[in-house]
Amino acid sequence: MEYLVQQLINGIQLGTVYALIALGYTMVYGIIRLINFAHADIFMIGVYTALFTATAYRIPFPLVILISMAVCAVLGVTIEKLAYKPLRHKPKLSALITALGVSLFLENFCALPFVFGPDPRSFPELIPIKAYTWERYNLTVTNIFLINLLVVAVLLLGLFYMVHYTMIGKKMRAVSYDKITTSQMGINVDRIISFTFLVGTALAGASGVLYGLTYASAQSPYMGIWPGWKAFIAAVIGGIGNIPGAVVGSYLMGISEVYATSVSSDLGFGIAFAILILVLIVRPTGLLGKKTYEKV
């Protein structure tokens, strides 16, 4: 029993990392219907940015998060302008292949020896770890876990406020609903799309810092691939394009993955995918996705 609850805590921790990545996927998908494969690698850049800034200058943790978010946001917007914008009115799939190309570029460029190098690096201890043990139930919670939850809560509330109660959020929702009509209302659609990329990639940067803080290592420039994919799948489970759905899906994914891996490390991954398949076959637009009707 204690073991199961402890695993639940680990699962929530993993889900937190996924949630912040999944938000970026889901926001970009919601607005331009593009699976941004490069998002996972922006997460990787976030981990490395935090690693380098924290190693070079001993700066406090909140500042590390802000720097990481800023670097990722600038990178995300640059990629959008250079690679995706020229293809906006071209077939959807060429944009997808471009996204794949950008992803490969980021991974392999960062693996060059004078950039990040292909070898694993250890993440500096940003915050001294304290463990709080609840003796009666034999449960351990670290302060890292609590900080993770706090950061995610702040970012999610901020995102929710922005999307639902500010002008720019209203514009984002409008663009995602109908681009042509929105542009006729005098809204600069390109700028809103760039802004969506900015917010999504900044969240990936924050996720990178939390990942580094929790798992204390940056394996290689290819490290983004699997967390990125699982986060994306989480976004699909929740109903892609739907912000609460991405969060729900991520926690579901994180928790089920931790439980499945504790049974068998080989099986873990397959079970996560099997859940995905089941969810999609029963609810083809995801858990919280809206049902769409096709008009002839």
How far from 274 is each of 30, 68, 255, 271, CA to CA, in Å? 25, 34, 14, 5
**Interface with another protein, residue 105, by CB under 8 A:** yes
Q: Report the alpha-carbon distance of residue 32 to residue 292 in Å, rounded.
A: 17
**Interface with another protein, residue 31, by CB under 8 A:** no
Element (H, E) at 237: helix 225-238
**Interface with another protein, residue 269, by CB under 8 A:** yes
Binding residue for another protein, selected from 2, 57, 90, 120, defined by CB under 8 A: 90
**267's tokens:** 């099986």
Give the nearest distance from C-beta 35 to another protein in angstroms. 6
Stretch that binds another protein, among 173-181, 190-198, 209-217, 265-273 (CB under 8 A): 265-273
Q: Give the CA-trace dihedral at 42, 46, 52, 58, to 10 degrees.
A: 160
Sign of CA dihedral 187, 191, 196, 202: negative
Decide whether 209 or 240 has the Cβ nearer to another protein: 240
Q: Is 186 left (phi over 0), alpha (psi -120 to 50) or beta?
A: left
Within 112-131, the residues that bind another protein by CB under 8 A are 112-113
Q: Report the alpha-carbon distance of residue 46 to residue 68 in Å, rounded.
A: 5
Give the nearest distance from C-beta 260 to another protein in angstroms. 10
Residue with tokens 């998060």: 65
Q: Report the alpha-carbon distance of residue 47 to residue 222 in Å, rounded.
A: 12
**Interface with another protein, residue 78, by CB under 8 A:** no
Binding mask 213-252 for another protein (x = CB under 8 A): ----------------x--xx--x---x------------
| Residue numbers at the binding site for another protein (CB under 8 A) | 29, 33, 35, 83, 86-87, 90-91, 93-98, 100-105, 107-109, 111-113, 229, 232-233, 236, 240, 264, 266-267, 269-270, 273-274, 276-277, 280-281, 284-286, 294, 296
